[in-house]
Structure 1
């Protein structure tokens, strides 16, 4: 069995999760290939430019210019229904087009594959050409909402950018037309939240669905001596330390602004310190240690081990890798009750869930955690994760699905 994983990136939450699965399948003896977008891939998979039409006679060229000027004068320049993602100006985390100039079916790994496994493929997969040309069984893992939507990846961005509604609908219609060529496909959701969304009136609801959560590398993310971890990072030994992690701290969906509200409310409590990991593109807050962006997993395991609690203040989220990584290190989680987070967080066992997505609710949940901190058992938290969210368990579930398909 040869499986080709297609992912725009190897980095970022979705790319990391996809590459972990690829490695997990290799460990099971599956011939797994990982195709992602880089300079070499982009050049290799470029679709040939269409041939130029023969030149028009001179009188037709003159007439065409006259007509073109008249149309341009009468056209509303703010009409986005004929625009592209490059022209879709707004405030959002991601807005991507279903059209690219790449053809994945040209790659030798595609030709050799028995199954094509799509992951986060925005700006890589060309919907019209791929779904019309593909002859392989497809598995598609939903890492966010984009396969169910037009250009946006989460509902919050769509709501915040109503001026792009027409372009969003245009892209959704393009996806629906492209997918009409697909007779069967296996869709995998990482969380019950996204499983419900996809099976309920989405453009993918006619396909079979399976729930398979992500796994985490338990040999990397594991409990470490807290004293050693704090000394290595230069953190104080005696304080309660709360951690926040995001690729960029300014991403509204990830809720660092809510975290900042919490930090402000703890300003008079000297025994609580906050740590933030990610690109710091927000104003610094007092009583906060900014560790910058960390790409090394071994170092991140030390960061999780150094902290008493991991804060996850997401407004929308699927099944964050960082949540699973923290729990694998035995670090409890205080989080918002959104997306796939309640699939994992068991109140008063491995964490707490805030009453709503506000800074006040997160502050109250963190206060309760601090009062009950001694009740959270690091060893039991890790043992629970080992039963549910390892890469080996994830890879075995996918292997079972592949065999059923073939």
Structure 2
């Protein structure tokens, strides 16, 4: 089958957020390569002929009536009751049994290939995989939820022993629901997630592929640093650190460690620039929060204004933040976890804190601020062009699609 003739349908619960944005960028890169690609999502911004909004059952009248009456007929009620009976602290829990039946959609049934992304709370595993057991499916992983029971990251599983029985039961359910699949291919953007998935009970029998995220490098550009700082009202000669997250207060993103590290620095030694919802406060340093931004030109301006991007995640796949920072020529400071291990080398793209704690992060920041660490912005941009151009990603996906048709 000629590559320009097949139809691929991408499914993502969200168009926004890290996973949704990565999925949508892949879809757009395939459109640029003349692939017949459709993007289906339960939550979207804007409309176009290549995007389709999936109407969630939650918005239907009978769902709202049952919710008000508290009648546990729907899966969402049953799932909520399971969680309510237990105590725990976690970022996200999701279940394979859902009330939506998106497998009836014409776009999916007409597609030659279905590319799943972050689909928690959107697809019902039992009916979806039964309907499409003979159709080629690519599943791009953005976290660990697809091959774990209910948790999206391992630390949440390890920190919530009370949920072990539910976790094990839902893994068993997923194995049962996927039993009939033979043409499922798993794609991971990072080596860390690849290893976790290949060794999981659920996905170990399926072929795996490593394809890092691509970026629209024409949208993310290096800009003059002094100009960028002036444009954002920052002190042009003061070391500038940037921290970016959809939810700045997300514990998994390392916010508490970051705050402790910054608060232990000498007063007014750096200025902090943040992008995201739920702003945090750095009392002893100049700080400007730009809020949530979707405009990539403004985001590029912010990365370009920064001297160093701080990415203190405790667990992460291949954060868009890191790749966007690279595209703008800004080095990244991180911990030795997840997809950061694939690309941060200590010499060209960024460097690591020695340990996952505020003291090590503070020392690493001071090493950079005092000139013990330095990086070439043009070299970082060059390496981004060589590894993260969206054309590289789309070419690899097209090759995979053709190989499984």
**Given the two structures, how large is their TM-score scaled by the length of structure 1?**
0.87
Q: 1:379 and 1:373, CA in 2 relative to 1: closer, same or farther beyond 3 A?
A: farther
Do residues 247 (structure 1) and 246 (structure 2) align? yes
* Deviation of 1:103 (Å): 1.7
Q: Which residue of the partner structure matches residue 107 of structure 1?
A: 105
Where does the alignment leave 5 or more consecutive residues of structure 2 unmatched? 1-5, 45-52, 63-77
Q: Which residue of the partner structure matches residue 4 of structure 1?
A: 9
2: CA distance between counterparts of 1:301 and 1:28?
25
Do residues 145 (structure 1) and 158 (structure 2) align? no
Q: 1:152 and 1:109, CA in 2 relative to 1: closer, same or farther beyond 3 A?
A: same
Q: Which residue of the partner structure matches residue 284 of structure 2?
A: 286
1: CA distance between counterparts of 2:184 and 2:172?
19
2: CA distance between counterparts of 1:292 and 1:226?
21
Q: Which residue of the partner structure matches residue 118 of structure 1?
A: 116
Do residues 306 (structure 1) and 311 (structure 2) align? no
Q: Which residue of the partner structure matches residue 27 of structure 1?
A: 32
2: CA distance between counterparts of 1:365 and 1:284?
18
Q: Which residue of the partner structure matches residue 14 of structure 1?
A: 19
Secondary structure class of the residue paired with 1:403? helix
Q: Which residue of the partner structure matches residue 327 of structure 1?
A: 326
* Deviation of 1:386 (Å): 0.6
Secondary structure class of the residue paired with 2:212? coil
* Deviation of 1:349 (Å): 1.4
Asked if 2 retains the 8 angstrom alpha-carbon contact of 1:46 and 1:103, the reply is: no
2: CA distance between counterparts of 1:44 and 1:248?
26
Secondary structure class of the residue paired with 2:370? helix
* Deviation of 1:401 (Å): 0.3
Asked if 1 retains the 8 angstrom alpha-carbon contact of 2:211 and 2:396, the reply is: yes
Do residues 94 (structure 1) and 92 (structure 2) align? yes
List structure 1 runs of 4+ shifted beyond 4 angstroms. 43-47, 80-83, 85-89, 281-284
Asked if 2 retains the 8 angstrom alpha-carbon contact of 1:45 and 1:107, the reply is: no
Q: Which residue of the partner structure matches residue 54 of structure 2?
A: 41
Please point out which of 111, 115, 127 is paired with 2:125. 127
Q: Which residue of the partner structure matches residue 344 of structure 2?
A: 345
* Deviation of 1:290 (Å): 2.3
Q: 1:328 and 1:43, CA in 2 relative to 1: closer, same or farther beyond 3 A?
A: closer
2: CA distance between counterparts of 1:3 and 1:122?
20
Please tell me whether Structure 1 or Structure 2 has the larger radius of gyration of its CA atoms. 1
2: CA distance between counterparts of 1:28 and 1:81?
41
Secondary structure class of the residue paired with 2:240? strand
State the number of aligned residues. Answer: 375
Q: 1:353 and 1:401, CA in 2 relative to 1: closer, same or farther beyond 3 A?
A: same
2: CA distance between counterparts of 1:231 and 1:364?
28
Asked if 2 retains the 8 angstrom alpha-carbon contact of 1:355 and 1:361, the reply is: yes
Q: Which residue of the partner structure matches residue 53 of structure 1?
A: none
Q: Which residue of the partner structure matches residue 193 of structure 2?
A: 194
2: CA distance between counterparts of 1:84 and 1:26?
42
Where does the alignment leave 5 or more consecutive residues of structure 1 unmatched? 50-79
* Deviation of 1:176 (Å): 1.1
Q: 1:392 and 1:384, CA in 2 relative to 1: closer, same or farther beyond 3 A?
A: same
* Deviation of 1:391 (Å): 0.9
1: CA distance between counterparts of 2:332 and 2:340?
10
Q: Which residue of the partner structure matches residue 231 of structure 1?
A: 230
What is the CA deviation profile of residues 270-305 of structure 1, one whole-angstrom value per residue up to 9, with x for unaligned ones? Answer: 341122222235455331322222222211111000
Asked if 1 retains the 8 angstrom alpha-carbon contact of 2:54 and 2:102, the reply is: no
Asked if 1 retains the 8 angstrom alpha-carbon contact of 2:316 and 2:338, the reply is: yes
* Deviation of 1:88 (Å): 5.7
1: CA distance between counterparts of 2:121 and 2:82?
12
Secondary structure class of the residue paired with 2:55? helix
Deviates more, 1:208-217 or 1:347-356: 347-356
* Deviation of 1:247 (Å): 1.0
Q: Which residue of the partner structure matches residue 383 of structure 1?
A: 382
2: CA distance between counterparts of 1:315 and 1:265?
20
* Deviation of 1:87 (Å): 5.7
**Given the two structures, how large is their TM-score scaled by the length of structure 2?**
0.87
1: CA distance between counterparts of 2:316 and 2:93?
16
What is the CA deviation profile of residues 231-282 of structure 1, one whole-angstrom value per residue up to 9, with x for unaligned ones? Answer: 21111111000111111122110001111111112133x3411222222354
What is the CA deviation profile of residues 343-380 of structure 1, one whole-angstrom value per residue up to 9, with x for unaligned ones? Answer: 01121211111112111111122222223477311001
